Amino acid sequence: MNVAGDSERVYGGRALSDRRAERRRRFLAAGLAVIGEKGYAATSVADICAAAGLARSQFYDAFPNREKLLLDVYDAVQDDARDAVIAALAAVENGDRRALVTAAITALIDSLGSDPRRARVSYLEMLGVSDAVEQHRSRRRAEWAAFIEATLRGELGGDFVPPGGHEFAATAFIGALTELISTWSRMPDPRPPVDGIVDTMVAVLSAFVPDLDTPHRIGD
């Protein structure tokens, strides 16, 4: 006799796995809203549950603790930003390297900076929580550095090495961009135009990437 697992059980016409996935999405949305507004240290599980409209027992069915929720909210924000940058790069079919850089940075700012809560989770609330959280943040920064290196090599050729090497160049670029977006996201409305951040980061990148006005490579 075949016995269906918990994930296959159906309640009210919906599989239990679907219900759990939906609850998880609600907790993640609540985590972004509450942590992004109050800060991680001031946010309790009860706050998250109230914002999600779900029970405490349902929270612990989805997450072992509050820290894991923070990590998953952070990952969701970072994944959205990465996907936005990839889509922006793919959409640039004509133009020079400057157009490529502008599209990528604009997409990143729109994803991370336009909503101050997303910027706060990305750049402030991950700091000083625990060694595990710091290690996780460092891994995600390393992924961004690897993405930048792969993008540069794809555009400039596999033999291209920026001044100081790829690791230092990526670290400098990420550090500058992080501070700019974090500062900009906390400014009162109306914020300065995004163009200012883009122009600044293009200038930073020009120190590592030669000939930004050169037509970029397409499918080479």
Q: Residue 34 has which token pair?
A: 């509450």
Q: Can you give the pLDDT at residue 91? A: 92
Across the chain, which distance is largest between two alpha carbons, in Å?
69
- In this structure, what are the phi and psi dihedrals at residue 10, rounded to the nearest 5 degrees? -115, 130
- In this structure, what are the phi and psi dihedrals at residue 14, rounded to the nearest 5 degrees? -125, 140
Are β-strands 10-11 and 14-15 bridged in parallel, bridged antiparallel, or unpaired? antiparallel
Nearest to 88 by CA among 74, 70, 100: 100
Q: Can you give the pLDDT at residue 157? A: 87
pTM, rounded to two decimals: 0.88
Amino acid occupying residue 218: I
Q: Can you give the pLDDT at residue 150? A: 93
Q: How many CB atoms lie under 10 A from the CB of residue 85?
A: 23
Nearest to 170 by CA among 157, 182, 161: 161
Q: How many CB atoms lie under 10 A from the CB of residue 169?
A: 22
| Cα–Cα dist 63/146, whole Å | 29
Q: Can you give the pLDDT at residue 213? A: 73
Q: Can you give the pLDDT at residue 8? A: 64
The C-alpha torsion from 183 through 185 and 189 to 193, rounded to 10°, is 80
Averages of pLDDT over runs of 10 residues in the chain (220 residues) are 54 79 97 97 98 98 98 97 95 83 91 90 94 97 94 88 92 91 88 89 86 67
Q: Can you give the pLDDT at residue 13? A: 65
DSSP E strand stretches across the chain = 10-11, 14-15
Q: Can you give the pLDDT at residue 93? A: 79
Q: Residue 23 has which token pair?
A: 């609850």
* Bridge partners, residue 96, by sequence: 215
Q: Sketch out the chain's domains with CATH numbers.
A: 9-63 (1.10.10), 66-220 (1.10.357.10)
